[in-house]
Structure 1
Amino acid sequence: MSETDWRARKKADTRRAIQEHALRLIMAKGFEATTVEEIAAAAGVSHMTFFRHFPRKEDVVEVDDYDPLITTLLTERPAGEPPLTAVHRAVRAGLAEVLPKDQETVLIRTKLVMATPALRARNYLNVESTTDLFAAALATRAGLAEPDLAIKAQAAAAVAALTTAVTAWVARDGEPELTALVDECFAALGVPVVRATAG
């Protein structure tokens, strides 16, 4: 492993440790009652290290790498796939990569967002950001410089389906598996259900 790879892995490990300790404390005490100093102490880092990874306390709950992962997977889908099918397949591929190692973290984070008014209000902005990312990726697949109205509508529908699936998953405390709920919600939009994660 090169020094650059080692540093990147160490940074990722530190960030993951901070987030895991933060989520545990926030679940026990509540978002408002948990301080950055408490999170940093639990993770064994300074509060300055916390802020290098998460500029605001809200970020330790909100921030993840899932949207960039899914948009990358989306731009790699075959050009002939219908837009909503491409998003569905990209989401399934992303879940197959994320859930085996991060399912509990995803569930806890989403529960916290839904249970914390300040985070829930900010989540609307995150939904808009995700919609814009999906729309940009769909435009790229279509050879357009920017999304047209149809692509914006397709991206909004896809994000609505994904959000509905995640909300139902959290409400049922992680049952059934999230991929099955995603399939069900995209099927409601007329997307054919797949039985295995497409590559």
Structure 2
Amino acid sequence: MAATSHTPATAPGAQPQPPLGLRERKKLRTRVAIRKATYRLIAEQGYDATTIEQIAEAAEVSPSTVFRYFATKEDIVLTDEYDPVMEASLRSRPADEPPLLSVRVMMIESLSSFIDMESEELRQRTRLMVEVPAIRARMTETMSDTAKLLSKVLADRSGRSADDLQIRVFIAAVLGALREVTLYWGEQGQTGDLVAMINEAMDTLEGGLLL
């Protein structure tokens, strides 16, 4: 998912998110300013040449503020504001709906919103995922936070523990599929319909690999 310059949009069918307080809005604006400055600098001079000091100057904050919001430069590229949107979308699905269908709808809604509002950021992020090994490695690490969030949603509606092995494996498989589709799309020059590719990946998870 990706960052936005405003409160994240609510995915279709999801429960509206409560408005952010003044402090939260200021934090969000700072995060977005840092991220946009980072993408602009990377586009101009490349990933390796872009430093935290340059990012701070471009975003009009101190380097310590950058590190307060993002632990690493990779996190600036990868972190977004869409986890709450994904959570709300998944929680809005019928409790008796098959989990894979619920997750598929959530992913398609969230990705479509992402593409509509931040298409260029998605493309730049994907290019960096393909080109920069450190970003690919960090992406795998940061996905664990999203996995925990989504696992808890499925656990809540099923009455199981969020640490239930089946739930963890299920969510890991879904997010792994999302990661591989995104990388594949990037490796192919970002050609083709990304949403259709996600749907195809979900079909594979549902029906198994047919050789």
Shorter-chain TM-score: which interval? 0.7 to 0.9
Counterpart amino acid of residue 93 in structure 2: R
Q: Distance in 2 between matches of 1:15 and 1:106?
A: 17
1:56-86: CA deviations, max 9, x gaps?
A: 3332112112233213321221111111111
- Contact in 2 for aligned 1:162/1:182 (Cα 8 Å): yes
1:6, distance to aligned residue in structure 2 (A): 4.9
1:55, distance to aligned residue in structure 2 (A): 3.8
SS at match of 1:190: helix
- Contact in 2 for aligned 1:19/1:61 (Cα 8 Å): yes
1:50 and 1:146, CA in 2 relative to 1: closer, same or farther beyond 3 A?
A: closer
* Superposed CA RMSD: 2.4
Q: Distance in 2 between matches of 1:87 and 1:27?
A: 33
Query: Which of 66, 82, 96 is residue 66 of structure 1 equivalent to?
Result: 82
User: Is 1:46 aligned to 2:62, yes or no?
Assistant: yes
Counterpart amino acid of residue 181 in structure 1: M
User: Is 1:181 aligned to 2:197, yes or no?
Assistant: yes
1:134, distance to aligned residue in structure 2 (A): 2.5
- The equivalences for 1:114-133 within 5 A come to 114-133=130-149
Q: Distance in 2 between matches of 1:172 and 1:189?
A: 22
Query: Which of 123, 131, 135 is residue 151 of structure 2 equivalent to?
Result: 135
Q: Distance in 1 between matches of 2:162 and 2:29?
A: 36
- The equivalences for 1:90-169 within 5 A come to 90-169=106-185
Q: Distance in 2 between matches of 1:144 and 1:77?
A: 17
User: Is 1:78 aligned to 2:94, yes or no?
Assistant: yes
- Contact in 2 for aligned 1:164/1:185 (Cα 8 Å): no
- Contact in 2 for aligned 1:15/1:53 (Cα 8 Å): yes
1:162, distance to aligned residue in structure 2 (A): 1.4
1:22, distance to aligned residue in structure 2 (A): 0.6
1:113 and 1:168, CA in 2 relative to 1: closer, same or farther beyond 3 A?
A: closer
Higher RCO by CA contacts (8 Å cutoff, separation 6 or greater): 2
- Contact in 2 for aligned 1:169/1:175 (Cα 8 Å): yes
Q: Give every structure 1 segment of 4 or more consecutive aligned residues whose post-TM-superposition deviation is greater than 4 Å.
A: 4-7
Give the aligned partner of residue 195 of structure 1: none
SS at match of 1:81: coil
Q: May I ask how many residue pairs the two structures share in their alignment?
A: 188
Q: Distance in 1 between matches of 2:170 and 2:70?
A: 32
Tell which deviates more after alignment, 117-126 or 179-188.
117-126
- Contact in 2 for aligned 1:139/1:146 (Cα 8 Å): yes
Give the aligned partner of residue 26 of structure 1: 42
- Contact in 1 for aligned 2:104/2:202 (Cα 8 Å): yes
Gaps of 5+ in 1: 192-199
